[in-house]
Structure 1
Amino acid sequence: MRTVLVVGAGQSGLQLALGLQDKGYEVTLMSNRTPDEIRSGRVMSTQVMFDTALQHERDLRLNFWEGRAPRIEGLGVSVAAPDGSGRAVDWLGRLRAYAQSVDQRLKMAGWLETFVQRGGRLVVHGASVADLDYLSGTYDLTLVAAGKGELVSMFERDPARSPYDAPQRALAVSYVTGLRPRAEHPGTEAVRCNLVPGVGELFVMPTLTLSGRADILFWEGLPGGPLDVFRGVRDPAEHLALTLELMEKYTPWEYERAAGVELTDSGATLAGRYAPVVRKPVGRLPGGGLVLGVGDVVVTNDPITGQGANAAAKCAASYLSSVLMRGDRPFDEAWMKATFDKYWFTTGKPVTRWTNAMLAPPPEHVLNLIGAAGQLQPVADRFANGFDNPADFDDWFYDPVDAVDYLAEVGAGAGASSAE
């Protein structure tokens, strides 16, 4: 039986630990918090997971909340008019398979308890580099999935894959109850992406939290801009009031359905910022031991494209496959690099390219694509399903010529359908 140490109990670390455990590996998991501490803590993310990532959870029998979480059937985009008169663009793309969001406090606490119930060894301890230096020699493989703190310093920034060296958005999150449905699509659960040019973005998404059905209000503001006002706000009620004030000013169509919303609990707000970065996957310990970075330890993207939890799930699934294929051979540095490369080229690179593109001011052909989606439903649907498979954007989104050709093709198809 091969032994594995997994450090970090987020989406990638826990999913990978449970997957290895399911395949007969002897797994030790280090978490800096107990399940009860996670449940009673502050919200950690704005996760919406699309079908491919959800399937990885189903494959491991970890989809405990699938029957309770809202089934997200679409993804809508609204663009604020420059003169403040309302929406210049507004459309809803249909997903081929539903997405879902489960508050990570609920999910990670439940998964931790499941890991222990299935016979795993849980160590509640905030690991340091010195701890890993001492422990790693007793395991066949050490995986680091804790994306913050001292351990990240072991993984060198990859400048060739990291165009940004500073945060590109200031983030502010509120989990609320009482949000009314959009009047134009009252029966459809959907993620709403509201773009305010020169200011930032507001995302509104259905979720399942500790107390049941809720919605997430998530501002992404340009640093130094009018949305960058949450730093230093500690009181949850003040955080929500500021969120609503900004909604009233910049996205009044969303504000009008938010009258009477309340925070789900005292830990329902979060604010912060971080720089997108890709790191080299192998960390070297002071004693010479090697560790492999997992998930956002090695690929950290801004949440503007909603890929954090999805990429983490796909990374865990990819790494699990690589570990199983290794058999009883050593987990050496060459294998670690090859394992990361497999994940990078299938998932990490397409996600990073798309996310970095969305952080920059959109070029004219992208604006044309977003506008065309309001007239051509296949374009709206392709946008929406790109959240599940970001590699699809390579064929039509980045190059102006590809975009023109794609719109001409879709337009011709729509014209033929109308003629029939």
Structure 2
Amino acid sequence: MASIGIVGAGTAGLHLGLKLLAQNVAVTLYAEQEPARVRAGRLLNTVTHHAPTRARERELGVDFWAAAELAMDRCAIHVHGPQPFSLTGRLSEPGLCVDYRAYLPRLAEEFVARGGRLEVGAVDVAALETLAERHTLVVVATGRSGLTSLFPRVPELSPHAQPPRLLFAATLDGVRMPEPACMQANLVPGQGEVFESQFITRHGRVPSVLIEALPGSELAMLSTRRRDEDPAAFDALLLHFLHRFAPSTYERITPSAFGVRGPLEFLQGAFTPVVRRPWAALGGGRFVMAVGDTHVTNDPLAGQGANAASASAFSLAASIQEALRSDRPFDEAFCHDAEVRMWAAVAPATDWSNALLQPLAPHVGELLFTGSRDTRVADAFLSAFMIPERILAVCATPEATAAFIANATTPPPEALATTLGATQARALAL
């Protein structure tokens, strides 16, 4: 019987494992930590799951946070500068921010409940060779223990030579959350970006912040200064920056109660976005595949990391299932074909993430400004913004953007017919 081994229990590993289990494939998941330890650990991220990923979660039967009141169906973008403006819109398909200290353990437990095997322990390159003899195919869904060294960088798809942003994320006390729930994005020239969202934790919903600081900027201090040396001073600095660069958040803060929620409630760091070849040859004619962040690591600016990981996992699951059905070997030809399919699934997220790391094109800036004046444009733009395949087409050229604005502001035929009918009725009455 075929057996698949998955090293790594993040979004990609869990979604792949659950998808294969649903297809009656035997799966063993190799996790670095027990679910209980993940629950008690440090903040992992502040990711948002957008509509395509939430649809995949429904397909997997793991949409455990489906209650409508938990989702965020509004988003606001505040453009700072000499002539600041803001746009706020309603999302056609709400997003969801769940603390991964709750999300990952819950999915891991569900994986086991459905018949998957979970083994806990670190896996390095040497151990991977052993696993490859145990399983029909091994998939790497983590970069820990030096495993990314197996998968070479693809230069033509990896334009960044250093981290484009320095990162700080935290859950917060002393911030009154907006009602209804609304993601906030502040675009600050020369500094970077400041995001606020509402985060679903085991303690309930709490406010969270993600700061993407340009290297060398004032905001970068939040990524490089050690909070544990003086938590009060650090929190005062964070409050200062929110006052300057996120006033829509600051106006809901009670300064005397403000601060990071605890010593495990923040993270700092930086990484260089990269696309790697998602397969490698092992001894004995065996091959190993990479999925999720091990294949493609995107800057979190576009909020697409977990979403791309899920898309990548579903793509690879389809390739594995087709190979098993046709008794196709997991050889180099399989790896090449799976790579093409996976890249097609995740390339839009990478392209959109890289685009946002550059200064806004004039026609995109004009689109944002138009959205600040017309809620129809704001609704349409922000709904598309969360789905790379849609927004890339919208922003591709000035002509595409103009057509998008025209379409957003043109009444649908049925509305036009109703308006014309009412006009004719008034004319007859006169």
- TM-score higher than 0.5: yes
Deviation, structure 1 residue 207: 1.4
Aligned residue for 1:20, secondary structure, equals helix
Code of the residue aligned with 1:279 in structure 2: it is R
Partner of 1:359: 357
Partner of 1:244: 239
Aligned residue for 1:374, secondary structure, equals helix
| Contact in 2 for aligned 1:307/1:387 (Cα 8 Å) | no
Code of the residue aligned with 2:208 in structure 1: it is I
What is the alpha-carbon distance in structure 2 between the residues aligned to residue 279 and residue 349 of structure 1?
12
Partner of 2:184: 192
Deviation, structure 1 residue 239: 4.5
| Contact in 2 for aligned 1:80/1:251 (Cα 8 Å) | no
Partner of 2:55: 55
Q: Which digits, 9 at most, give the CA deviation of each residue in 1:310-344, with x for residues without a partner? A: 11111122222222222232222222222232232
Map 1:215-226 → 2, pairs under 5 A: 215-226=207-218
State the TM-score, normalized to the length of structure 2: 0.89
Structure 1: 5+ residue stretches without partners? none
Deviation, structure 1 residue 241: 3.4
Code of the residue aligned with 2:267 in structure 1: it is L
Deviation, structure 1 residue 67: 3.0
Residues 135, 149 of structure 1: alpha-carbon distance in 2 compared, 3 angstrom cutoff: closer
| Contact in 1 for aligned 2:385/2:391 (Cα 8 Å) | no
Partner of 2:427: none
Quick check: 1:231 aligned with 2:230? no
Aligned-pair identity (%): 35
Residues 273, 17 of structure 1: alpha-carbon distance in 2 compared, 3 angstrom cutoff: same
Code of the residue aligned with 2:60 in structure 1: it is L
Partner of 2:112: 116
Quick check: 1:318 aligned with 2:315? yes
| Contact in 2 for aligned 1:40/1:267 (Cα 8 Å) | no
Aligned residue for 2:380, secondary structure, equals helix
Q: Which digits, 9 at most, give the CA deviation of each residue in 1:361-396, with x for residues without a partner? A: 112112111111112333322322224421112332
State the TM-score, normalized to the length of structure 1: 0.91
Pick from 362, 366, 370 the counterpart of residue 372 of structure 1. 370
Root-mean-square deviation (CA), in Å?
A: 2.3
Quick check: 1:173 aligned with 2:166? no
Residues 117, 395 of structure 1: alpha-carbon distance in 2 compared, 3 angstrom cutoff: closer
Q: Which has the higher mean CA deviation after the structures are superposed, 311-320 or 254-263?
A: 254-263
What is the alpha-carbon distance in structure 1 between the residues aligned to residue 28 and residue 68 of structure 2?
30
Code of the residue aligned with 1:190 in structure 2: it is C
Q: Which digits, 9 at most, give the CA deviation of each residue in 1:343-363, with x for residues without a partner? A: 322x31111111111101112
| Contact in 2 for aligned 1:52/1:388 (Cα 8 Å) | no
Q: Which digits, 9 at most, give the CA deviation of each residue in 1:33-75, with x for residues without a partner? A: 1111111111111111112101111111112232387211122
Code of the residue aligned with 1:248 in structure 2: it is H
Map 1:10-29 → 2, pairs under 5 A: 10-29=10-29
Deviation, structure 1 residue 149: 4.3
Quick check: 1:291 aligned with 2:284? no
Deviation, structure 1 residue 121: 2.0
What is the alpha-carbon distance in structure 1 between the residues aligned to residue 181 and residue 407 of structure 2?
30
Code of the residue aligned with 1:368 in structure 2: it is E
| Contact in 2 for aligned 1:69/1:207 (Cα 8 Å) | no
What is the alpha-carbon distance in structure 2 between the residues aligned to residue 213 and residue 148 of structure 1?
30
Q: Which digits, 9 at most, give the CA deviation of each residue in 1:166-203, with x for residues without a partner? A: 11111100112442244xxxx32121111111211111
What is the alpha-carbon distance in structure 1 between the residues aligned to residue 180 and residue 263 of structure 2?
29
Structure with greater proportional helix content: 2
What is the alpha-carbon distance in structure 1 between the residues aligned to residue 120 and residue 407 of structure 2?
56
Deviation, structure 1 residue 238: 5.1
What is the alpha-carbon distance in structure 2 between the residues aligned to residue 288 and residue 332 of structure 1?
8
| Contact in 1 for aligned 2:380/2:408 (Cα 8 Å) | no
Aligned residue for 2:122, secondary structure, equals coil
Code of the residue aligned with 2:340 in structure 1: it is D
Pick from 387, 392, 399 the counterpart of residue 389 of structure 1. 387
Residues 278, 390 of structure 1: alpha-carbon distance in 2 compared, 3 angstrom cutoff: same
Partner of 1:136: 132
